[in-house]
Amino acid sequence: MPGAIELPVEILPMSATDIDDVFAIELGVCPFPWGPGNFKDCLQSGYSCRVCRIGGELVGYFVVMLAVDDAHLLTIGVADKWQGKGFGARLLRHAMHVGREQGAQTFLLEVRPSNAKAVSLYRHFGFKQIGVRRNYYPAENGREDALVMTYPLAELTT
């Protein structure tokens, strides 16, 4: 598009000052959102917490916890107005690289079966389902299972 201005996309370490904006996104995209305290705890625990900014606006985030040889994606989210534009894929790819840089051999995550967009994204990346955690997530009418999916980080390319 002639004359269009490309805004810079940055993926940066999350800081305590980002938590209100991260929580606002979390409220909009998760049926049972984490609270600000969850994100503060992750920062204090030294987990890999990142935010995505476009022209300074916070549009997404992720949290990865390293556990032995696994990088475990604890949460990932993209603001509603930025969904469908490739930012979820960009954040996921970055999270996987963070895990590999920290020495993880595999990337692990749980996802609600009802979250079809997320399941599709993970399968597109080559994640394989390795199990089900019964009654893992809170749901409107009780609990919902989680699909456990994994990806071998040795296969990760740019």
Decide: 107 and 96 in contact? Cβ < 8 Å.
yes
What SS3 state is found at 14? coil
Query: Does the predicted TM-score (pTM) go above 0.85?
Result: yes
Decide: 83 and 33 in contact? Cβ < 8 Å.
no
Q: What is the pLDDT of residue 31?
A: 87
Residues 6+ apart with CB under 8 A from 79: 25, 28, 29, 58, 59, 60
Question: How many secondary structure helices (H) and strands (E) does the chain include?
Answer: 4, 7
Q: What is the DSSP letter of 31?
A: S
What SS3 state is found at 113? coil
Nearest to 122 by CA among 91, 83, 154: 91
Q: What is the pLDDT of residue 57?
A: 93
Q: What is the pLDDT of residue 158?
A: 67
Q: What is the pLDDT of residue 1?
A: 45
Place of tokens 């990806």: 151
Q: Measure Cα distances from 9 to 52, 90, 120, 123 in Å.
A: 7, 10, 24, 25
Report mean pLDDT in 10-residue bins for the chain, 158 residues: 66 97 95 95 98 94 95 96 92 96 97 94 96 93 95 89
Strands 106-111 and 70-78 turn out to be parallel
CA 60/CA 78 separation, integer angstroms: 4
- Give the homologous superfamily in CATH for domain 9-155: Gcn5-related N-acetyltransferase (GNAT) (3.40.630.30)
CA 151/CA 129 separation, integer angstroms: 9
